[in-house]
């Protein structure tokens, strides 16, 4: 029960920080609109495409985790609370990618020559979802390496046992 409460706190603090940052950036943006000239011309369809790609990659890596879930290594990670961090990074990546997709769809129907406030928020959500995407890829990479090392150790043990039997014969 303590692990579940820790995860809820971690999830809550992540969301609180990210939405707090968004509110502060929105207040700054409303008081002093930025032109985002370093982005060049931004199209809502481009933002929608980028958000969809990030969400798709997150979904693919999450499916990879589901496929690995039967291994004993992943069971050990479940007990050590490492798997919860991975799932949290995927969940937050999904949330912010979905929000960016929804905002981009709304922005498509708005007609504006400058970068709109919705595009500003969508860019923020894309950056946050990209951060969680990279974080989840790091975690998945660690799991795959951990499983590979575990399999190498098992195969080495089997090889050592077979050599020992051959030498005894």
Confidence of residue 158 (pLDDT cuts 50, 70, 90): low
pLDDT greater at residue 36 or residue 154: 154
Query: What pLDDT was estimated at residue 38?
Result: 45
Pair 113, 43: CB distance under 8 Å? no
Read off φ and ψ for residue 43, nearest 5 degrees: -110, 140
Q: Model confidence over 130-152: pLDDT tens digits? A: 888 888 888 888 888 887 887 77
**pLDDT greater than 50 at residue 161:** yes
Q: Model confidence over 49-100: pLDDT tens digits? A: 888 888 888 888 888 877 777 667 667 777 777 777 888 888 888 888 888 8
Query: What pLDDT was estimated at residue 1?
Result: 38
Pair 90, 55: CB distance under 8 Å? no
Does this model's pTM top 0.85? My answer is no
Chain Cα centroid distance, residue 155: 32
Domain that holds residue 116: 2-168
Total count of domains within the chain: 1
Q: Model confidence over 1-49: pLDDT tens digits? A: 344 455 677 667 777 777 777 777 777 766 666 555 445 556 777 878 8
pLDDT greater at residue 94 or residue 164: 94
Q: For residue 134, give both structure tokens.
A: 């990279």
Q: How many helices (H) and strands (E) does the chain have?
A: 5, 0
């Amino acid at each position: 029960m303590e692990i579940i409460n820790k995860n809820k706190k971690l999830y809550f603090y992540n969301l609180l920080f990210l939405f707090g940052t968004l509110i502060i950036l929105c207040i700054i943006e409303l008081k002093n609109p930025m032109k985002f000239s370093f982005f060049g011309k931004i199209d809502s369809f481009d933002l929608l495409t980028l958000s969809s790609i990030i969400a798709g990659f997150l979904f693919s890596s999450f499916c990879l985790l589901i496929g690995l879930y039967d291994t004993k290594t992943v069971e050990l990670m479940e007990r050590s609370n490492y798997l919860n961090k991975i799932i949290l990074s995927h969940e937050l990546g999904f949330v912010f990618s979905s929000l960016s997709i929804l905002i981009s769809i709304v922005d498509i129907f708005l007609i504006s020559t400058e970068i709109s406030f919705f595009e500003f928020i969508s860019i923020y959500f894309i950056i946050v979802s990209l951060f969680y995407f990279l974080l989840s890829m790091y975690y998945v990479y660690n799991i795959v390496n951990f499983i590979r090392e575990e399999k190498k150790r098992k195969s080495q043990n089997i090889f050592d046992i077979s050599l020992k039997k051959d030498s005894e014969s």
